[in-house]
Chain A
Amino acid sequence: MQDNPIDKLFEKRVSWLADSGPEDDIAISSRIRLARNIQEIPFPSNASVDHLDSSIAAALVAVEKAKCFKKFYEIDMTKLNPLDKQVLLERRLISREFFARKQNTALVMTDDETCSIMINEEDHLRMQAMLSGLRLGEVWNIIDKIDDRLSAELPFAFDETLGYLTSCPTNVGTGIRASVMLHLPGLVLGEQINAVIQAVNKLGLAVRGIFGEGTESLGNLFQISNQSTLGEMETQIIDRLEAVIRQIINHEKNSRQKLLQNRREFLMNHIGRSYGLLRHSYIISGEDTLNSLSALRLGVDMGMFSTVDIHTVNELFVIVQPGHLQKYAGKELDTSERDIFRATVIRERLKSSEKK
């Protein structure tokens, strides 16, 4: 039996959260996805089982031949248990769409979690690269090379006028989706976030909450991404996004500064209480956790906590999620069991970082 790659992931820290990157107090990670399809095979949503097998086989053979990655795993998603799938989703190695697919799908991912290729998502191939901090240029270099190599082995569906052909016309052309995850508690506390979202939307970029299931964005984590994929070069799209991201980062910094100057007690109280909640709770909901973690992260950024480091907080954002908690527990947990176990994991993590 082959070792379960998902178990191996657990032996390591989440690389895009544990490494330092430029501006990583506010920009948590940068990711670029490219959509590609293979000639002569219908897009996955309209493909027969045989077609789906063909695209998986072709993609896997191409990945090996192209020598894209030094060390990587091939995962048959149909054989993966739901909990492991959930873990991949929480680590952002697969999309929600891919998670929910019932058809034949496969995943290729590097052992450092920097790159992954979803096979038979909405398109035959969705390849992604992800690094910590604001590093879109570096991420582009990585994914551009992988695409070049794969392109030498696989015939991609391409049109002279429309570029790379994708299942959804919103991705046609470059097939690129570049995004940066931002932590914006200053703008949220300063009640400027809606104005910023509005402005960013006007520039043709999309904003969405990372944990945006309900009506608010939990944890003050936002993802900013390009929407237009046709009519511009990849580097133009990336540069435009990065310019906007830099402005948002400046707004966030200003907002934090203003809060510290004008509403110092309000801010300290918010951060201090959140830390207390995380450090001393025995039952804590996912929602409370994400919002408190956001405040703790802000406190760490502002130098309020000498004992807690930013990467511990970053990792907590991932491991407090249901899939990771159950994986750590080694068994299925219902909601109330999770709330108890979550509190335990957080208390222990924070306690051990104090000892250092």
Chain B
Amino acid sequence: MICEICKKNEATIHIQEIINSQKKALHICQDCAAKKNAGNGMLNGLNLADILYNISSNINSGDGTGAAKPNEPVISHVPSITCGKCGWTTVNFSERGRLGCANCYTIFRDILSLALKNMHKGTMHVGKRPGAGNKGTNTAAIEIMKLQKKLEEHVMREEYEKAAETRDLIASLKNNNKTPKKQVKDK
């Protein structure tokens, strides 16, 4: 087999083995691999666009073989989805290979589940978990932290009036924060 990049040397490196995918394969020689390696790291990193590409053609080809059809645009095949929480779209996802927020993982689950299989050793998290403190926190908690930071800055700059205002704001937020919880309990 001839190297797909220089079309000169014997291809000895087959990238499909790296990403553990049967669909995507790039056959290149050692020289080109070294160049690629030093260049953009794509040889080592996972090219998400490529993975998504294959999946999207797979989803829509429906022949079950998983054979990727080259030169078909990605986006036209994937149903357009938008995350209700952050506004991220399928187009954003396939262009950037990134998600917009934590909720996107639920919204784009179908596209992701196939992609994740190609990227990782498994599909289930078995590592560490956040501590007990992780449960029950909400946006108000973050807002309070933000104000606490502000408070610190005011105190440091000796802006005591502003500091007092911020302190009051924190107190009222903390109170508001407690009330709904009580109501839930009362029900």
Q: Distance in Å from the Cβ of A154 to the closest Cβ of chain B?
A: 8
Docked complex Cα distance between A46 and B121 (Å): 28
Are the C-beta atoms of B38 and A169 separated by less than 8 Å?
Answer: no
User: Given that A158-B134, A206-B44, A231-B122 are contacting pairs, would A45 and B127 also be in contact in the complex, using a CB cutoff of 8 Å?
Assistant: no
Known: A161-B124, A170-B48, A234-B127. A197 touches B99 (CB 8 A): no
Q: Give the complex CA separation of A155 and B138 in angstroms.
A: 8
A46 touching B101 in the complex, CB below 8 Å, given contacts A201-B44, A209-B38, A232-B126: yes
Residues of B78-108 contacting chain A, CB below 8 A: 85-88, 92, 96-102, 105
Taking A202-B17, A230-B116 as contacts, is the C-beta distance between A162 and B127 under 8 angstroms? no
Most buried by A among B12, B13, B41, B124: B124
A168 and B43 CA atoms in complex are apart in Å by 17
> Is B105 in contact with A54, judged by CB distance below 8 angstroms?
no
Q: Interface centre among A148, A197, A214, A231, by most B CB within 10 Å?
A: A231
Q: Are A38 and B142 in contact (CB under 8 A)?
A: yes
A198 contacts the other chain (CB 8 A)? yes
A229 to B125, alpha carbons, bound, how many Å? 9
Contact A42–B86 (Cβ < 8 Å) = yes
Proximity string of chain A (214-245) to chain B, C-beta cutoff 8 Å, 1 when within and 0 when not: 11110000000001111111100000000000
Q: Is A157 part of the binding interface, using a Cβ–Cβ cutoff of 8 Å?
A: yes
Chain A residue numbers with a CB within 8 Å of B126 are 231-233
Q: Nearest chain B CB to A294's CB is how many angstroms away? A: 15
Tell me whether A40 is interfacial, beta carbon within 8 Å: yes
Instruction: Contact check, A43 vs B98: say whether CB atoms are below 8 A apart.
Output: yes
Q: Count the B residues whose beta carbon is within 8 Å of the partner chain — how many?
A: 62
C-alpha gap A157/B125 in the complex (Å): 13
Q: Assuming the A-B contacts A57-B150, A231-B121, A232-B121, are A165 and B143 also in contact, with contact meaning beta carbons closer than 8 angstroms in the complex?
A: no
Instruction: Give CA–CA (A215, B141) in the complex, Å.
Output: 49
CB pair B125 A174 closer than 8 Å? yes
B71 at the interface (CB under 8 A from A): no
How many Å from the CB of A20 to the closest CB on chain B? Answer: 30
CB-based contact B48/A168 at 8 Å? yes
Contact status B129-A158, CB under 8 Å: yes
Contact code string A161-176 (vs B, CB < 8 Å = 1, else 0): 1111101111011101
Give the bracket for the number of chain A residues in contact with chain B.
Answer: 35 or more
When distances are taken between beta carbons in the complex, the residues of chain B under 8 Å from A147 are: 128
Determine how close the nearest CB of chain B comes to the CB of A41; give it in whole angstroms: 7
Cβ-neighbour of B149 out of A60, A163, A217, A234 (below 8 A): A60
- Which 10 residue pairs of A and B lie closest in terms of their CB atoms, listed nearest first? A231-B122, A163-B125, A155-B137, A206-B44, A230-B120, A57-B149, A157-B102, A57-B146, A46-B100, A174-B127
Residues of A within 8 A of B (CB): 37-43, 45-46, 53-54, 56-58, 60-62, 122, 144, 147-148, 151-165, 167-170, 172-174, 176, 194, 197-198, 201-202, 204, 206-209, 212-217, 227-234
A-contacting residues of B (Cβ < 8 Å)? 12-13, 17-18, 20, 30, 33-35, 37-39, 41, 43-46, 48, 85-88, 92, 96-102, 105, 112, 115-116, 119-134, 137-139, 141-143, 145-150
- The contact sample of 26 A-B pairs, CB cut-off 8 A, is A42-B85, A46-B98, A57-B149, A62-B145, A151-B134, A152-B133, A155-B134, A155-B137, A155-B138, A158-B129, A169-B99, A169-B116, A170-B119, A198-B13, A201-B17, A208-B38, A214-B38, A215-B34, A215-B38, A215-B39, A227-B44, A230-B120, A231-B122, A231-B123, A232-B127, A234-B127
